[in-house]
Amino acid sequence: MNKKYLMAGLGAVAVVLGLYKYNQLTTESAEVVEPAPVRVEIELVTPETLDSWVFSEGTAEALQKAFLNFEQSGKVVYIGEMSDGSQIREGIRVYGPSEDINKGQLLAQIDNRESVAGVRSLEAQLQSTRERRKEAQAGKVRATNNLVQAQSNFSRVEQIYKKGVVSQNEFDRAKTDLKNAQASQDAANSGLQAAISEIKSVAADMNQATVSLEKTSLFAPFDGVITSVNILEGNYYYPPSGVTSSKEREASSAIVVVDDSAYEVRLHLPEDTYASVKEGQTVYLAYNDTALYEAEKTGFRSGNFVKAKIWSVSPSISLQSRSLQVKVRTEGDASGIRDGMFLQAWIATEEKQNVLALPWQTLSFRDGVPFVYVVTPDNRAELRWLDLGLVGLNRTEVLTGVEAGERIITEGQHLLTDGSRVEVLGAKQ
Amino acid sequence: MTGLKNKLFLQNLFGRLLLGLFLLMGTLAYNTMVRENHPDLEIPRALITTSWPGASPEQIEKEVTKPLEDELRNLVGMNIFTSGSYNSYSMIGVEFDADVSMAIAMQQLRAKVNAAESKFPSSDVEKPGIEQLGMSEAPVISLVLHGDVDDLVLTDVAKNIKQQLEAISDIKKVNLGGLREKSLHIRLQPNKLRALGVSPLTVRDRLISANMDMAWGQFEGDESTFNLYLDGRFDSTERIRQLPIVRIGDDRLVRLGEIADVSLRLDKEKMRTLFNMKGSVYTRGVTVDVLRRPGADTIALINETERLALEISSQPDWPRALQLTVVTDDRNLIEQSFSEIYGSMIQATLLVFIILMVLLSWREALVAGLALPVTLLATLAVLGAMGHTFNATVMVGMVLALGMLVDVYILVMEGMHEGLFVRRESFNKAVMNTVKTFAVPAIAGQLTTILAMVPMMMIGGIDGKFIRIIPITITVALLLSLIIAFLICLPLSRSLLAKAADGSRELLVDKITHRYRQKLANWLLSSPLKSKKHAAGYVLAAFGLFILSVIIVGKLPSALYVESDDRKLGISIELPPQATLERAQSVADKVGVYLSSQSWIEKSIAYVGAKTPVASSTLKTLILPSEAWNQVGFTIILVPRSEREKFSFDYLSELRTGIDQTIKDEAGLIVSITHKGNKPSGEDPVQIELNGPEYSELMVIAAEVRQRLAEQPGAVGVKDNLGASLREIRFRFKPEKLNFYGLEESNVAQQIRIAMEEDQFGSFKMEGIQDDPDIRISMQWPSRGNEMGGPLHIAEIRLLRVITKDGSSIPLSHVADLKVVEKPRVYIHNYGLRSVTVQSRAEGKTAAAILAGIKPQLDKLQSGWPEGYSYQFGGDSSRSDDSFGSLGVAFVLAVVLIFILLTLMFNSMLQPLIILFIIPLAITGTFIGYFYFDVIVTFGAMVGCVSLAGIAVNNGIVLLETMNSHRRQGKSIKEAAAYGAADRMRPVISTSLTTILGLLPLALSEPRWYGLCMAIVFGLIASTIVAMFIIPALYLLFTRDNVVADEYESLPDGTVLNGAVDGA
């Protein structure tokens, strides 16, 4: 009997255990676990200042640049010398006129013998002309004397004739003599006038000749640097002809002197930037984008760049290139620039104060529409569609979608969906 | 006839020869067979890679992947058909049904690919490459080349090693990781180009036209001949620097050196690899991953690789500072897995031997015990001859067979025992009697088991192929056991048994049997066999239990496979898409510190900027991006199982938490762990495939589904295969503007391409047969400084400028509009449709349970999706219905085959039904056992159930035969039933016991075999107990009085069966 109870007891235990397990199997399915929160980095949106940029490039040209040329051809006889006896050359700093010195540094001279010969021939001409004037004056005196004699002769003959003492013939002869004398005097007068005119003309030529003699020398017009010397001592020089562009002038002028303290850059901007580019905007110039890129990280407080301002904006669009000519002039230290350097220009076109902005990498896009996730007070991600405004270099203005003081998820957003639980990591701000 | 009989059964010459043959062949096979961890199934799979340099993923998808897919779509028998379209290349993964012949599949594939080629849009598209894949594309051995040398030397040496290793025929491919290729880099300076008005295209054209070698034919003189040859290709960087590009004015020659930085240097760093051996710090190096050709002998391959590596590194020109270290190799893993199963096989043999000692006299036990290893060796020999490899599955088959084949030996030895000791016959007579009486029942008993196995061999698919080896092994072992029992054991037992004929003492087990036999008979007569009503009551109760168990089993957790211990783990960490290599390195450093401090981790390799090869070894993962700066991967090798406390999969949650803690201050990371656990597919078990026309929408849907899946208990490591999307800036030209500036679209496009990429234009000539480095043209970007690479910041895109024909430059934004969109890194297709797979591991719950839990939510979500978007379950669960279904068919087929055999044997339709009734009773035991012990119903468990059917009916056959013989001796049905059962109690229990004990060591060794073994164990226990009273009850119910005598004339005399037990 004991066995039977034992068996019954075991059976009962088995059944109870079975029921319990069966219950477990059938009831556990409905539960839901909360997935672990996604770890995210956030940024607190605060109003800030945002710059918008227009990028361009152009060639730097010095504001003051003299293309010095002899105005006549000739052999170069002298090239200016420095205090150490070396000839002037590219890169040498030269001095222009100042208060006490009327002319700048003498840079070069060409042979002036031909001009001197000209002056001499003119002078000879002047002498002979002067001789002729004297002759004419003497002729005039003679004619006057003849005339006086002819007049007195005529008045005597006329009186006699009126008394009938002389014949009609006699009277007519005297009358003709008088007329002849008067004609001779007129001729002598005009001969003298011609001689005077000729003297004046030769004198003018003379003056001319002496001026050209001065122009065979070149003087530095202002303080600056020689950027080009295209003449050699002993070579013959011909003045350039048909030169139009500054590029050609640069190559053909005898000596080019540049003032390297201030430059102008002409930028050709696409027409669609017309609205944003204004006179007076700040421009950063550098040899390459890398330098500007580095400088931008410091807010243009340091770096290898030159600051400039927009000097003028042409109101018309060039037909050839459909672009807008903008002139930019450097401000302050421009030692980073050389004349003729091809420069990258970053124009800070617009500065907006007090705007909400987000870094580019924070934004996600769906069908081209940007959105971000905002951390709600209960640590969930909330999807917000955005309207973007001004585009900065790394950040972009957000017009609608987020408000100041909200926490925007900057990293980890690719794992989120609207309503996901998030864990905010040690906030960077 | 008698002569033959004498030769076969009495003279031991033939037996000796046979024994010698089996031993020789077996030993030979044991030593020479290819050993591997998993059977290397020949499944036709291939990867088709087509590259088109410079094309976007979208172009690749539309113009390369689609034509290929259109052609391939109608190939028959494809299981997996997936593709990934990337920037510049397309990958299509195809897996055929496991039963399609490899040769035919590959031939068809090639034909289709050829047909598709004609539809490619441009001649720049390269010819598709077809790579045949094995079961796993994970490296079998990983070496690391490390040391304090110049990176250029490291690159050269690594390439040399790769070249030499690839000469080994069994190596399919050697992958180098963490290697920086060197190229001749021409980095143009944008401001110089613009200042001089030189277009990058001018540079490119000049370079291409100057970099040329050409044979100029032959000069044939009277006395000698010369070849003329243009030696134009660049062979020094100085020559490239001096290359004239343009002439400005009369005397301004611009050479390449003025506008570009020219140098032979390492390419942009794409990834790094580091390794760590127990306790040390992470060392940087180049990994050399060796991939095996399908079918090759892994261990031999590893040995050969090691030998060659040693040879290479001991050559005189080897840089002394360099070291080549083997970090991981599969040999240890295979040998360990082997020794584990081998251990359980030994244990099983010993256990069976002990049972034999109890059941039989020591001499008989010795004969049977010695027969066991002979059978196993012979099985191995036959399997080797059939072309199988020596793998874990074969061993498992042998362990399973062990418990079944020993029955034959017991039977034969009991027959001898009875003849020699009970009937006091001569040895020869005893042998002949044993053969006469036991040959047919023994063959019949094994045949039922084999018949249960046969349908299992016909299951298709990978799972079928994977499991097929087990029934084959069992069948071979059982057939061999018959041969060995009768042709070797009997003749050769003469020396042991003939002399001992006088020692007929009663065994302990005989005494016990005697005591309980009568008790059982009495109880049977008093309770179940009291009347037909009682009998019917018991039968109905048993049947009720069966119904109950079927109800229960529906509620049991099920999965296709359970994971087993795996020493190799993969960790993948995905950083936010914009992460840099430095950031990835810092994450890897943190995780590395944690990993190297864990005592259960032996060593690891870290991949910075790439996934671990473990995570991308399946076909579906191969087509996913594996190299990107936002990827960090680890391959971890655990210490051997004996040196750690838990199974590998039990460390996973600890590992996950540990990693999570170390990276808790990093935002936006996804960590996933790959634990293959010896499953055939090695994929994440939970897979939800989402299909639809547009990725923008699919990505949103995938995010929702990810969220929902993460909410499911048990789903861990939720991710999708698309990964984080990339932002794409799309440009569209303004044609009027281009026209105004006299620019052509293609010109602008190529200028920008050069600015952004590092495309290759020709190569640079090196001395000898060294690889010629590529010549690459790129642009210097402000944000990169002196480093190589494209722009880092979006603002720089606005700095892009195009040079017009007259030498001036205009901003790109002036001639093109742009908008920002988000696009996936790769466009994934599944059966030609755009698709995203959301996946996770299943821990603590089965994949099926997780999917069942999420299904209602998915259905609800789906109603909110636009037209054309749908979901379906993939992975194991999509196959499990098929596999379970085909097992069901196999089961029915097995039962029918057994029924036919039994009908022929018993010459009756009714009695086989009695025997077959034992099958549901056995399965009841399995199900109830599963229910109480929380076992997951797996494919293996189902295989166990089918096998069980074959084993369990043996008990029924024995019982029924005895009952029939009792009837023939004139006992009443009731008595025949009672005494039949009581008489056969001992053999039934003993054969069941050997089978059960033979299985237990294997069941307890590895979780993956637990289900299979325990299905048989539970079933046998139940069927043995229940059969003892249900079979008699059924016998009482279904036996008609009059026919009995005729029915069994054809049968051998059943009395001998229980002779040994009766001792009558």
Q: Looking at CA atoms only, how far is residue B122 from chain A in angstroms? A: 30
Residue type, A66: A
Contact A55 B799 (CB under 8 A): yes
- B1050: confidence class by pLDDT, cuts 50, 70, 90: very low
Quote the pLDDT of residue A213: 64
SS3 for A17?
helix
Q: Binning pLDDT at 50, 70 and 90, where does residue B506 land?
A: low
Tokens of B358: 């109890």
Look at residue B381 and tell me whether its pLDDT is greater than 90: yes
Q: How far is B809 from chain A (nearest CA, A)?
A: 9
Strand partners, B603: B277, B637
Nearest by CB to B724, which of A21, A365, A414? A414
Q: What integer is the mean pLDDT of B98-107?
A: 85
- Residues in chain B closer than 8 A to A289 (CB atoms): 190-191, 782, 796, 799
The identity of residue B279, as a single letter, is G
Between chains, do A40 and B667 touch, taking CB under 8 Å as contact? yes
Interchain CB distance below 8 Å, B712 and A26: no
Q: Do B191 and A344 touch (CB under 8 A)?
A: yes
A339 contacts on B by Cβ (under 8 Å):
none
Whether residue B710 and residue A35 make contact (CB cut-off 8 A), yes or no, is yes
SS3 B734: coil
| Chain B contact set for A416 (CB, 8 A) | 703
Beta bridge partners of A226: A257
Q: Report the residue from B669, B670, B822 with minimal CB separation from A364.
A: B822
Across the interface, do B713 and A32 touch by the CB < 8 Å criterion? Answer: yes
Band of residue B1056 on the pLDDT scale cut at 50, 70, 90: very low
Contacts of A25 (CB under 8 A, 6+ apart): B555, B556, B557
Contact between chains at B782 and A289 (C-beta distance less than 8 A): yes
| Alpha helix ranges (H) inside B143-189 | 151-165
Residue B5, pLDDT > 80, answer no
**Residue ranges of chain A with pLDDT lower than 70?**
1-3, 24-31, 98-102, 114-116, 209-214, 427-429
Question: Would you state the structure tokens that stand for residue B464, as one six-digit string?
Answer: 């079928």
Is the Cβ pair A342, B194 closer than 8 Å? yes
% residues pLDDT > 90 (chain B): 9
Q: What pLDDT, on the 0 to 100 scale, is given for residue B1042?
A: 54
For residue A411, list chain B residues with Cβ-Cβ distance below 8 A. 576, 667-668
d(CA A296, CA A302): 9
Using DSSP bridges, classify how beta strands A342-359 and A323-330 pair: parallel, antiparallel or unpaired: unpaired
Q: Is the CB of A27 inside 8 Å of chain B's CB atoms?
A: no
In whole angstroms, give the CA distance from residue A101 to residue B1000.
118
Task: Give all strands (DSSP E) within B73-169, no chain letters.
Answer: 78-85, 89-96, 129-132, 141-147
| CB pair distance less than 8 Å for B931 and A21 | yes
Token pair of B404, please? 């079944």
pLDDT of residue B275: 87
Tell which of B187, B189, B191, B729 to mutate to test the A interface (max A CBs under 10 Å): B191
- To the nearest whole number, what is the mean pLDDT of chain B? 84
First and final C-alpha spacing in chain A: 82
Two structure tokens written together for A254: 């005898």
Positive or negative torsion for Cα A163, A165, A166, A168: positive
Residue A1 touches chain B, beta carbons under 8 Å: no
Predicted pLDDT of residue A242: 74
Three-state DSSP at B751 gives helix
Do the beta carbons of residue A105 and residue A80 sit within 8 Å?
Answer: yes
- Among B667, B718, B785, the residue with its CB nearest the CB of A290 is B785
3-state SS class at B95: strand
Residue B667 CA to its chain's centroid (Å): 34
In this complex, do A411 and B191 lie within 8 Å of one another by their Cβ atoms?
A: no
Q: Supply angle C-alpha B998, B1001, B1003, rounded to 5.
A: 100
Q: Give residue A70's pLDDT.
A: 84
Chain B residues with beta carbon closer than 8 angstroms to that of A37: none
Contact A368 B795 (CB under 8 A): no
Q: What is the pLDDT of residues B687-733, one digit of tens each?
A: 899 998 888 888 889 888 988 888 888 888 888 888 778 888 888 89
Q: Tell if the CB–CB gap between B820 and A416 is shorter than 8 Å.
A: no
| Substitution target from A273, A365, A371, A424 for chain B, most B beta carbons within 10 A | A365
Chain segment B600-659, per-residue pLDDT in tens: 888 888 999 888 888 887 778 888 888 888 889 998 888 888 888 888 888 988 998 999
**Structure confidence at residue B680 (pLDDT):** 67
Asked if residues A38 and A397 have their Cβ atoms less than 8 Å apart, the reply is: no
Residues of B in Cβ contact (< 8 Å) with A248: none
pLDDT at B1049: 43
Per the DSSP assignment, residues forming a β-bridge with B573 are B632, B671
Task: Give me the pLDDT at residue B205, please.
Answer: 92
The values of phi and psi at residue B682, to 5°, are 70, 15
What pLDDT, on a 0 to 100 scale, did the predictor assign at position A29?
52
Contact B416, B430 (CB under 8 A): yes
B195: nearest CB among A25, A342, A417: A342
What are the chain A neighbours of B806 within 8 Å (beta carbons)? none
Query: Is A33's CB within 8 Å of B711's CB?
Result: yes
How far is the C-alpha of B617 from the C-alpha of B718, rounded, in Å?
19
Q: State percent of chain B over pLDDT 70.
A: 95
Question: Could you say which of A35, A321, A412 has the minimum Cβ distance to residue B711?
Answer: A35
Measured in angstroms, the CA of B664 and the nearest CA of chain A are apart by 8
Give the gap in angstroms from C-alpha A259 to the nearest C-alpha of chain B. 23
Q: How confident is the model at residue B1053 (pLDDT cuts 50, 70, 90)?
A: very low
* Rounded Cα distance, A348 and A49, in Å: 12
- Residue B45: CA atoms inside 13 Å, Cβ hemisphere, count? 27
A89: DSSP letter: -
Instruction: Indicate left, alpha or beta for B639 from its phi (over 0: left) and psi (-120 to 50: alpha).
Output: beta
Q: For B818, list phi and psi in degrees, rounded to 5.
A: -135, 150
Query: Given A289, A365, A414, which is nearest B191 (Cβ)?
Result: A289
DSSP A32: -
Q: Which residues pair with B764 in a beta bridge?
A: none
The yes-or-no verdict on residue B1 having pLDDT over 60 is: no
pLDDT at B552: 83
Residue B323: CB atoms within 10 Å:
16
pLDDT at A30: 57
Contact A227, A256 (CB under 8 A): yes
Interface of A with B in 303-332 (CB under 8 A): 321-322
Could you tell me which residues are beta bridge partners of residue B47?
A: B93, B131
Nearest to A365 among B190, B706, B822 (CB): B822
Q: Do B711 and A287 touch (CB under 8 A)?
A: no
Is residue B631 within 8 Å of B552, Cβ to Cβ? no
Which neighbouring-strand residues pair with A396? A358, A391
Residue B1015 pLDDT > 60, yes or no? yes
Burial string for A372-390 (b: 16+ CB within 10 Å, else e) reads bbbbeeeebbbbbebebbb
State the DSSP string of B1042-1064.
TTHHHHTTTS--THHHHHHHH--
- Picking from A57, A270, A417, the nearest residue to B194 by CB comes out as A57
Contacts of B998 (CB under 8 A, 6+ apart): B348, B349, B351, B352, B399, B400, B402, B403, B406
**Cα(B33)–Cα(B849) distance, integer angstroms:** 41
Residues B701-705: contacts with CB under 8 Å, at least 24 apart:
B701/B836, B701/B861, B701/B865, B701/B869, B702/B836, B702/B838, B703/A416, B703/A417, B704/A417, B704/B861, B705/B838, B705/B858, B705/B861, B705/B871
Cβ-Cβ contacts under 8 Å for B845 (sequence gap 6 or more): B557, B713, B714, B715
| B85 Cβ contact list (under 8 Å, min separation 6) | B57, B58, B60, B61, B64, B65, B826, B827, B829
A415 to B668: CB separation less than 8 angstroms, yes or no: yes
Report pLDDT for A26: 64
Retrieve residue B533's tokens: 């009503």
Cβ-nearest to B822 among A289, A366, A426: A366
Q: Does A20 touch chain B (CB under 8 A)?
A: no
* Number of cross-chain residue pairs from A and B with Cβ atoms under 8 Å apart: 135
Q: What is the mean pLDDT of residues B416-426?
A: 80
- B1051 pLDDT above the threshold of 60: no
Cα separation, B45 vs B38, in Å, equals 17
Give the distance from residue A104's alpha carbon to the nearest chain B alpha carbon, in angstroms: 34
φ and ψ at A131, to 5 degrees?
-60, -45
Interchain proximity A40–B819, CB inside 8 Å: no
Chain B CB within 8 Å of residue A18 CB: yes
pLDDT at B1063: 34
Using CA atoms of B291, B293, B295, B297 in order, give the dihedral in degrees to the nearest 10. -60
Two tokens at B334?
A: 């295979």
* Contacts (Cβ under 8 Å, ≥6 apart) of B892: none
| Residue (of B921, B21, B931) closest to B546 by Cα position | B921
Q: How many whole angstroms separate alpha carbon A182 and alpha carbon A176?
A: 10
Residues B1036, B960 contacting (CB under 8 angstroms): no
Q: Tens digit of pLDDT for each residue in B140-196?
A: 888 889 888 888 888 888 888 998 899 888 888 898 888 888 888 899 988 888 888
Q: A223: helix, coil or strand?
A: coil
Q: How far is B576 from chain A (nearest CA, A)?
A: 6
**CB-CB contact of A126 with A203 (8 Å):** yes
- Report the pLDDT averaged over residues B947-963: 85
CA distances from B565 to A215, B139, B294, B332, B340 (A): 102, 19, 24, 14, 11
* B719 contacts: CB under 8 Å, gap ≥ 6: B574, B670, B672, B706, B838, B839, B840
CA distance B174 to B142: 10
Asked if the model's pLDDT at residue B1055 lies above 70, the reply is: no
Residue B472 is predicted with a pLDDT of 92
Q: Any bridge partners for residue B820, and if so which?
A: B729
- Three-state secondary structure call for residue B721: coil
Q: Cβ contact (<8 Å) for A18 and B712?
A: no
Q: Which of residues 120-179 of A touch B (CB under 8 A)?
A: none
CA-to-CA distance for B183 and A99, rounded, in angstroms? 64
Predicted structure pTM score: 0.78
* pLDDT band, very low/low/confident/very high, at B1041 (cuts 50, 70, 90): low
Which chain B positions have a beta carbon within 8 Å of A419's beta carbon?
A: 707
How far is the alpha carbon of A286 from chain B, nearest alpha carbon, in Å? 10
